[in-house]
Structure 1
Amino acid sequence: MSETMLGLDPKDCLDLVKLLKDSAHRLEQSSSQLNQSVARTGWQGPDSQRFRAQWPGQRAQMLQTASALGDLASVVLRNVAEQERASAAEEGGGGLLDKLFDGAHGLWDDLTTGAGHIVTEVENGVGWLIERGPGAAFAKSGLNFLDQLNHLGVMGADALAGKPPSMAGLVSQLALAAGTGLSAGVLGLSGGTINLNLFDDGSPKVGEPVPVGNNSERRVRLPSSLSEILGGVDDAYAMNGTAVSPDGDIRIVKIKQDDGSSAYIVNIPGTENWGINGNSNARDLTGNLMLVAGQSTTACQDVALAMHKAGIPPGAPVMMVGHSQGGMIAGQLASDPAFTSQFNVTNILTAGSPIDNDAIAPGIQVLGAQHHGDIVPKLDLGGMGADLGMPGPQPNVTLVTMDDPPRDTLGNILHYAPSPVGNLIQDVRDIGSNHANGSYQSDLANTSKYPPVGAYEQSPSMRPFLSADPSKVTAVDVPVGRK
């Protein structure tokens, strides 16, 4: 073995392989989404013709870069195998280990590189069909199915490389593959007359920022505490379905600093639609499943584009705040090097969000609030792997388990009434109350009961985001959705 191989850490290298593969896949996904958007955009004239003529070459460069990243991943994986073979040889073995690593390497390439090339070629066909109309639904449905199969294949390859997926992620990915396969099958068997459109995440739709006034319906909430900061998510929830944000909203609060710079709070609501058939609000059940499976979603892209639209500069401190799926989106974005290289995210606050599967960048300080009886943050099974292993604690993530909200007078009456129906009604009410953003907002105000909340609120990283001065705080609503 050459001298440069001495000291190779297989685990670190496998992490690098996963990052390279994930980056390649994201580039391929982005090229496909852009290709579809270019085909759909209603833009005519000489400028449009020049742009469309240049686009295929630009897309080819993206795909070449993705392919190069995949090749680099294979090189690193090959070096890991060589290291393991050398180590085994020194210990007097290696024959079986050799075959296992060679087999894993070959299967990795077959499942990821090979499947990725197939998906890319199908995506090229989809773009052609969308531009011309006939067959677009068939191609789109088939592509969605292939994409989910590709993600499933990557999970299998990761497992063979010693990086088993989370149990919740695997189950979610199996559901996504089964649903998109069913949708494609029904569409084909019905001759295109029945389109279930299951788990179609579409593409992002982001409007122009709308300044928030100080009237009774839309006011700028001062971020004077963690409780009030989380209240900004309620403000974003309230905008869904309005003329300003008919399909969902991201509220971005800007806090002017003494030196003239600014910090930003990005408020992300949770699930607002429980559909699975590509509705116009991207924060739906499809988004939940994809996030648990470790995929970037249209809702994630909505947030990133909204931040660009709001003019957040690269070096400005950013705090991301999310309830339920909103916290999952924040965790997914904070685990994506492509996103964290664009924005200086320093803090994340989540409420009722399953974030145990996220590999959030270590420099980001995270506070996760979870009620004892809230089932939603437990849906990731604590990050348990498919091999039943549990992840170790992340030093930058603080999880605070809070008491469930007290039952109100009506609830107590229903609960203690000698009626099974009354008890059932109260149990259902408890589920909603335990997960409600307003309940978390109340508990975050009780810093004496929950010292970690007070410590986080007073930490140096939080200083840019806390202000009770109306002259220093402004906000915009950015309408988002799915098309």
Structure 2
Amino acid sequence: MPGSTAAQLWGQDIEQVRDLARTFREHSRQLDAARETIGHAVLGFEGYGPDVDVLREIWSGDLAPAMARIAAALHEAGDVAERNAGAQEETSADDGREGTAVSGDGGGGGNGGGTAAALFPGGPAGDFAGSTGRPGDHAPDLAGWHSGPGSVVADSWDNLLDAGGQLWDATGGSILEGRWPRTTEIVASGALFGGALADTALTTGTGGRVDLDLFDDGEPVAGEPVAVDLDREGHYPRDLEDLVSAVEDTSGPEVRVTTIETARGPRVVVSVPGTQEWNPSTGGNPADLTGNLVTAGGGTSTMTGSVELAMRNAAIPPGAEVMLVGHSQGGMTVADLVSDPGFVSAHHVTHAMVYGSPVDSERLDARVHVLELAHRNDLVPRLDLGDAPALPGPVPGVVLPGPPGGHEQAGPSHTEVTFGDSPGGLLDIGANHGSAGYREALAAGTDPGLLAYEQRLRDAGFLGSGHDASNTTAVDVSIGRRQADHAPA
């Protein structure tokens, strides 16, 4: 009951609690090491000018302090968990039972509010600044929360650690791997980390009673295939415009898998839609803002994972050659998938088409013949800044290869076409980015590279005037995001 001082028993394995303590401390050390490495890289090179000043200001004013706070908070969380393990040993010795005696206020308080306050001094978490996590305190510790509001807080911390790991991969991890950090990856990962940090502070500060699920990407899920009547609700793949139409035919969070039986074996086209939700509070639809940020930041999003699950559920015929098509976020997802050699080999992916998608930072598998389309006035494909490096000059003592840039994608397996005549004016984002505008541009397209790619698809069997109900079938497979179960115990 609220205000009760009666102790409750929270069953825990002492060694598991101590393992959790070690995990918190290890992540704290990793974040501190990352902060030092990135700080040296950002502040230690010789560079001048407004871009350099902005980069250093972002690092010194926002990212470095945030990383320092979360590292300190993680270390403190480890200390709290270690103290609780010791308290549990004492309690078990006193009453002969396994469990940690802590006082409850309804099961919803923060663990050591010092941890929460360290993250956001003076913020909502400060309400718990007096909590130490020791027996007799006013709230149970994080390590002892295993259901109800406690699971909300634990899930928010898991998400924060994931976001911190992606930010590290985009910055210090990239440097250690001998690759220049990319501007878009740092910005996207920084936004994810900032949102996750705010979400963790809010859930911890309210004892798990308020949960916005900010930028929490969860886990991928996919449903069972549902047959599609292409004569009534679809398009047979006869030309490039039909490939765009198939993407437009998808409704809700789903992908369409179209199978064409040819004399040389089956050909399969997987159609992936673009963004459908822009709310930073995530839900069941993975085609959303969070999925965009995870992919743009260099991570593997739930959107990417759910598309692969949908392909498995669709029971693609063994030995079939596969083509993936995606618009906007769908194109980012397609590029992410075909940058994975294991995925390309497992699913025998031979072709891909992306349009209106920022994919210059992807290391596309050279075995896949890729068509990349953009309107001159479509700003979305340029959000990756042409794979621009975040550091404009050399770092003393650090030898890295030159910035890869989109030019590394060029070659016989990569065709890039920019339509000079955009559907709308310079600032008409909707018209220039919309799928319909790309479909119309393809219908009127005369670019030699575009025509050659279309002929390649015809020769491979993906496109053909004879594709109809006699040799072509399709299914829709729903895709989704599953998040932690926050239902009260």
* TM category, shorter: 0.5 to 0.7
Q: SS of the residue aligned with 1:458?
A: helix
Consecutive unaligned residues of structure 2, counting only runs of 5 or more, are 1-70, 82-142, 393-402, 483-489
User: What does residue range 173-184 of structure 1 map to in structure 2 within 5 Å?
Assistant: 173-184=189-200
Given that 2:163 and 2:189 are in contact with CA atoms closer than 8 Å, whether structure 1 keeps it comes out as: yes
Equivalent residue for 1:135?
Answer: 150
Q: Name the counterpart of 1:401.
A: 418
Q: TM-score scaled by structure 1?
A: 0.64
SS of the equivalent of 2:444 reads coil
What residue is the counterpart of 2:248 in the other structure?
A: 234
1:110-121 matched pairs, under 5 angstroms:
none
Distance 2:290 2:480 in 1: 13
Q: What secondary structure, in the 3-state scheme, does the structure 2 residue paired with 1:273 have?
A: coil
Structure 1 match to 2:463: 466
Aligned partners of 1:314 and 1:344 also within 8 Å = no
Once the two structures are superposed, residues 122-148 of structure 1 have per-residue CA deviations (whole angstroms, 9 ceiling, x without a partner) of xxxxxx989744511011000100111
Aligned residue in 2 for 1:249: 254
Report 1:337-416 matches (<5 A). Answer: 337-388=341-392, 389=403, 391=405, 392-394=407-409, 395=411, 396-406=413-423
Q: Following the alignment from structure 1 to structure 2, what is the Cα–Cα distance between the partners of residues 154 and 406?
A: 38
Paired position in structure 1 for 2:438: 440
Compared CA separation, residues 461 and 143, structure 1 to 2 (3 A): farther
Structure 1 position 476, deviation (Å): 0.6
Deviation of 1:460 (Å): 6.2
Instruction: Report how far residue 193 of structure 1 moved.
Output: 2.3
1:34-78 Cα deviation digits (max 9, x unpaired): xxxxxxxxxxxxxxxxxxxxxxxxxxxxxxxxxxxxxxxxxxxxx
Change (3 A) 1:194 1:331: same
Alpha-carbon spacing, 1:142–1:406, altered in 2? closer, same or farther (3 Å): closer
Distance 1:362-1:461 versus aligned 2 partners, 3 A rule: farther
Deviations 1:190-214 (A, max 9, x none): 2222222110111222111111114
* Residue number in structure 1 paired with 2:450: 453
1:320 is aligned to 2:324 = yes
Distance of 2:430 and 2:145 partners within structure 1: 42
Aligned residues: 332
Residue 365 of structure 1 contacts residue 397 of structure 1 at CA under 8 Å; is this kept in 2? yes
Distance of 2:426 and 2:374 partners within structure 1: 18
Partner of 1:169: 185
Structure 1 equivalent of residue 162 of structure 2: 147
Q: Distance in 1 between matches of 2:305 and 2:164?
A: 22
Q: Could you list the runs of 4 or more consecutive aligned residues of structure 1 that deviate by over 4 angstroms after TM superposition?
A: 128-134
Q: What's the CA shift string for 1:281-301, capped at 9, x where partnerless?
A: 101000111111111111111
**3-state secondary structure, aligned to 1:361:** coil
Deviations 1:5-47 (A, max 9, x none): xxxxxxxxxxxxxxxxxxxxxxxxxxxxxxxxxxxxxxxxxxx
Instruction: Provide Cα deviations, 1:206-240, integer angstroms capped at 9, x if missing partner.
Output: 11111111464x23x1111111112110111xx22
CA distance in structure 2 between the aligned counterparts of 1:318 and 1:351, rounded to whole angstroms: 18
Aligned pair 1:287/2:303, yes or no?
no
Equivalent AA in structure 2 for residue 292 of structure 1: A
Q: Is the 8 A contact 1:233 1:322 kept in 2?
A: yes
Q: Which residue of 1 aligns with 2:11?
A: none
Structure 2 contact 258–474 (Cα < 8 Å) conserved:
yes
Q: Which has the higher helix share?
A: 1
CA spacing shift, 1:266–1:440, aligned 2, 3 Å? same
Q: Does 1:186 align with 2:202?
A: yes
- Matched residues in 1 for 2:453 and 2:144: separation? 52
Structure 1: runs of 5 or more not aligned = 1-110, 122-127, 241-247, 408-425
The one-letter code matched in structure 2 to 1:464 is G
Bigger mean CA deviation after superposition, 310-319 or 196-205 = 310-319
Identify if the C-alpha distance between structure 1 residues 406 and 288 changes in structure 2 by more than 3 Å, giving closer, same or farther: closer
Match runs of 1:81-120 below 5 Å: none
Q: How many Å apart are 1:151 and its aligned residue? A: 1.9
C-alpha displacement of 1:174: 0.9
Q: CA deviation at 1:405?
A: 3.6
Determine if the alignment matches structure 1 residue 303 to structure 2 residue 317.
no
- Give the aligned residue type for 2:244: L
Could you say if the C-alpha distance between residues 168 and 461 of structure 1 is closer, same or farther in structure 2, counting changes exceeding 3 Å?
farther
Partner of 1:334: 338
Question: Aligned with 2:315: secondary structure?
Answer: coil
CA distance in 1, matches of 2:334, 2:377: 23
CA 1:322–1:129: 2 relative to 1, 3 Å? farther
Aligned equivalent of 1:34: none
Question: In the superposition, relative to structure 1, how do residues 311 and 379 fare at CA in structure 2: closer, same or farther (>3 Å)?
Answer: same
Report deviation, 1:154.
Answer: 2.6
In 2, distance between residues paired with 1:361 and 1:174? Answer: 27
Q: CA deviation at 1:153?
A: 2.1
Q: Provide the C-alpha distance between the structure 1 equivalents of 2:337 and 2:145, rounded to a whole number of angstroms.
A: 29
Identity level (%)? 37
Structure 2 length-normalised TM? 0.64
Distance, in Å, in 2 between the alignment partners of 1:161 and 1:437 is 37
Structure number with bigger Rg: 2
